[in-house]
Structure 1
Amino acid sequence: MDALPIFLKLRNTPALVVGGGSVAERKIDLLIRAGARVTVVAPEIGSKVKALLDQQKLQWIEDRFEPTHLSQALIAIAATDNEDVNRAVSDAARQQNLPVNVVDQPDLCTFTVPSIVDRSPVIIAIGTGGASPVLARMLKARLETLIPAAYGRLAGIAREFRDQVKAALGSVDSRRGFWETVFQGQVAELVFAGKENQARAELRAMIQATEDAKFEKGEVYLVGAGPGDPDLLTFRALRLMQRADVVLYDRLVAPAIVDLVRRDADRIFVGKEKSKHVVPQPEINELLLSLAQEGKRVLRLKGGDPFIFGRGGEEIEDLVRHNIPFQVIPGITAAAGCASYAGIPLTHRDHAQSCLFVTGHLKDGSVDLNWDALCQPGQTVVVYMGLTGLESICREMIRHGLENTTPAALIQQGTTLNQRVIAATLGSLPEAVAAAKVRAPTLLIVGSVVTLHDKLAWFDPDGGPPENLALNEPGRGTNDGL
């Protein structure tokens, strides 16, 4: 983050704008709307600035800029088409330790003016640090269509009742729960329907009927974080990630996804790696229960889908026994996400009519699977967590009937910028993976659908041709750039 976004209270604050043309008009308008006392320095001014002058909304110094013009100002904006003048304003303001903005010249600024979505008292500011004002305006336009004006009225009503709610509810957590109920419930719907007096009456009734315990019952959100790309999260997952008081997350959840959790939520790492558990599974189950019993909204964030090799069922069994409310939010499982990003369809009319998911976790040093079921024709086999046991898996599948030339691929950290696809055969894949120095998490795909990777791969973390570490074998393509 190159700059700290802040909101300045400028009411009755003297502000100087150098320039009186069309560029200055927009800055002057923003300052006036914020309540600043605006003085314009310019040899001449445009018609819109003149109209504001006639309305006594600003003062005009009909002169060229001099550093002495800054003597009474607490903030300065240079908005001329003369680079020398703009630089002079910037230099003079910096010498006097005044915050200064120079339009379209970020190097001369100590602050930038964002694009604004105004739903007062809700204000949303979008900035690019001067890198691309056009992009900021495009994002503003998109947000304008997504955020109804009624949100401003809703926030205004909330402000009216803030002190009453604080008096009625003793704890921060109970007040947070109360307001989330308000903003997601009947009060908000009444405001959106234009029935603001009814909304106020409903809110008064809620306050009168409220007891702390009503809003202190905890809940657990078991949320699938998907395979790694934050764009693959569901809307519901994002909403609950922003509601949680505490989050328990493991190693398979990408840092970029953890960063989307509400910033003031407590974060507890319960990572797992092979047989190494930072927090053993029974303790995770107990932690979910105890935190919910404290009245907290607990987010259990799991890579992929919580009900596919995620032990999600185990984690909610105790919640059911203790009557703790919970939600299970599915995520895109690694098989679907990684295969799609690698250009490997798991089923295909000409290749596979079924797909089998299995886990390749080692148990007592070996992989114990129903090998006969895995080696049937016309199917795709997807092995989760199979990196450590890869050599054993490939050997057993060959021993139970598959040809050693059967196509197979290992996908490293699929859907992320670290994605790599190592496409080979059952016979050659272990050697290829060892040479590539692959890092977990990985996903193994076995079946003739793997041959489609060369043709259908579309996702490239590096911006060039999709990365493919395929071996140069008869009937298989290669990527000469690797």
Structure 2
Amino acid sequence: MEQFPLFLNLRGRPVVLVGEGEAADAKARLIVRAGGRIVTDWEEGAAVAFVALADEGEARAAAQALRARGLLVNVVDRPDLCDFTTPAIVDRTPVTIAIGTGGASAGLAKAVRQRIEALLPARLGALASALHAARDAMKSRWPAAADRRRAIDAALASGGALDPLDGDAADKVDAWLAGAVAAQPSRLETIALASADPDDLTLRVARLLGEADHIFHPAAIPTAILDRARADAARHIADAPPAAPPPGLSLWISQP
């Protein structure tokens, strides 16, 4: 990962925008959509700045001056001068999906965004809002955080009660909470890697890595493979799969 992805809350905060023309106008639209307040020079409370100047020397000088104030700076079309880059955005408020290439190819980021746009229903944000509104009800039904996460994962899985690709899923949250939900027993799945390259993972294996609660693996399993698992999944270095898997979904990853 070459850049750390981060979603900033800019609502009501000043955002510095230096420059004029189409590039500056495009950044201004992004700032306004995020609720930021555009200013043309440093102001108390500003954390980020955009520089859209055609002359490279002027752009470099403006970026250095703003950076000296402690701001993170994006210089349009000059990734080598940037502290951060702006991604291609899929907006399903409050769901936001950002696709970045580290400044390598804005065209590629746009192409990926267009593919994702075609996949996601317009009401995906409504599902997120409905789940947020149901947080207390979910905590009441599943007091243990692990049980709650497993129930949500099952509902949001492909073909599940709240499949995110179902345009009507937002209307089904109450019925899901009221319905019978099967207990989740301990489950162990074995993954036999075809290679050490994460791009060779099958869709099934990628899905299991994204769902697993526990990952059991030999020490030699590449980090690039383990990075495809949930960040909060417990990792266990082992020479063999567990005889008694812990609650939830456990994976045993064998070497290629």
- C-alpha contact (below 8 Å) 2:50/2:75 kept by paired residues: yes
> Residues 21 and 297 from structure 1, CA distance in 2 versus in 1: closer, same or farther, beyond 3 angstroms?
same
User: Which runs of 5 or more residues in structure 1 are unaligned?
Assistant: 42-68, 271-278, 305-482
Secondary structure at the counterpart of residue 162 of structure 2: helix
Answering whether residue 139 of structure 2 is matched by residue 187 of structure 1, we say no
Which residue of the partner structure matches residue 220 of structure 1? 188
How far apart in 1 are the matches of 2:98 and 2:165? 24
- Greater shift, 236-245 or 151-160, is seen at 151-160
Which residue of the partner structure matches residue 214 of structure 2? 246
Give me the CA root mean square deviation.
Answer: 2.5
How far apart in 1 are the matches of 2:164 and 2:72? 42
Instruction: Identify the match of residue 100 of structure 1 among 66, 69, 73.
Output: 73
State the shift of 1:36 in Å: 0.7
What do the CA deviations read for 1:279-321 (whole angstroms, capped 9, x no partner)? 3x5xx341xx242xxx2210112235xxxxxxxxxxxxxxxxx
- C-alpha contact (below 8 Å) 1:248/1:267 kept by paired residues: yes
Q: Which has the higher contact order (CA 8 A, sep 6+)?
A: 2
Which residue of the partner structure matches residue 250 of structure 2? 298
Instruction: Identify the match of residue 118 of structure 2 among 145, 165, 185.
Output: 145
- C-alpha contact (below 8 Å) 1:226/1:232 kept by paired residues: yes
State the shift of 1:216 in Å: 4.6
State the shift of 1:186 in Å: 4.6
How far apart in 1 are the matches of 2:44 and 2:24? 19
> Residues 78 and 148 from structure 1, CA distance in 2 versus in 1: closer, same or farther, beyond 3 angstroms?
same
State the shift of 1:34 in Å: 0.7
- C-alpha contact (below 8 Å) 2:215/2:236 kept by paired residues: yes
Secondary structure at the counterpart of residue 152 of structure 2: helix
Which residue of the partner structure matches residue 4 of structure 2? 4
- C-alpha contact (below 8 Å) 1:220/1:298 kept by paired residues: yes
What do the CA deviations read for 1:428-472 (whole angstroms, capped 9, x no partner)? xxxxxxxxxxxxxxxxxxxxxxxxxxxxxxxxxxxxxxxxxxxxx
> Residues 151 and 196 from structure 1, CA distance in 2 versus in 1: closer, same or farther, beyond 3 angstroms?
closer
Which residue of the partner structure matches residue 231 of structure 2? 263
How far apart in 1 are the matches of 2:198 and 2:173? 38
- C-alpha contact (below 8 Å) 1:18/1:78 kept by paired residues: yes
Which residue of the partner structure matches residue 322 of structure 1? none
Paired positions, count: 254
Which residue of the partner structure matches residue 117 of structure 1? 90
Which residue of the partner structure matches residue 25 of structure 2? 25
How far apart in 2 are the matches of 1:149 and 1:240? 27
- C-alpha contact (below 8 Å) 1:252/1:302 kept by paired residues: no
State the shift of 1:215 in Å: 4.1
Which residue of the partner structure matches residue 84 of structure 1? 57
- What amino acid sits opposite 2:212 in the alignment? A
Within-5 A mapping of 1:37-436: 37-39=37-39, 41=40, 69-72=41-44, 74=46, 75-184=48-157, 185-189=159-163, 192-194=166-168, 196-197=170-171, 199-206=172-179, 214-250=182-218, 253-270=221-238, 279=239, 281=240, 284-286=241-243, 289-291=244-246, 295-304=247-256
What do the CA deviations read for 1:133-192 (whole angstroms, capped 9, x no partner)? 233223323333344434333222211212221233222211111111221255325972
- What amino acid sits opposite 1:70 in the alignment? W
How far apart in 2 are the matches of 1:191 and 1:231? 24
- C-alpha contact (below 8 Å) 1:187/1:203 kept by paired residues: yes
Secondary structure at the counterpart of residue 192 of structure 1: coil
State the shift of 1:229 in Å: 3.1
Structure (1 or 2) with the larger CA radius of gyration: 1
**TM-score normalized with structure 2 length:** 0.87
- What amino acid sits opposite 1:227 in the alignment? S
> Residues 254 and 119 from structure 1, CA distance in 2 versus in 1: closer, same or farther, beyond 3 angstroms?
same
- C-alpha contact (below 8 Å) 1:101/1:108 kept by paired residues: yes
How far apart in 1 are the matches of 2:222 and 2:203? 17
State the shift of 1:264 in Å: 1.6
Answering whether residue 34 of structure 2 is matched by residue 34 of structure 1, we say yes
Secondary structure at the counterpart of residue 188 of structure 1: coil
- What amino acid sits opposite 1:299 in the alignment? L
How far apart in 1 are the matches of 2:203 and 2:194? 12
> Residues 109 and 193 from structure 1, CA distance in 2 versus in 1: closer, same or farther, beyond 3 angstroms?
closer
- C-alpha contact (below 8 Å) 2:127/2:164 kept by paired residues: no
> Residues 35 and 297 from structure 1, CA distance in 2 versus in 1: closer, same or farther, beyond 3 angstroms?
same
State the shift of 1:205 in Å: 0.9
How far apart in 2 are the matches of 1:73 and 1:290? 50
State the shift of 1:252 in Å: 6.8
How far apart in 2 are the matches of 1:173 and 1:148? 28
- C-alpha contact (below 8 Å) 1:86/1:102 kept by paired residues: yes
**TM-score normalized with structure 1 length:** 0.48
- What amino acid sits opposite 1:37 in the alignment? R
- C-alpha contact (below 8 Å) 1:224/1:237 kept by paired residues: no
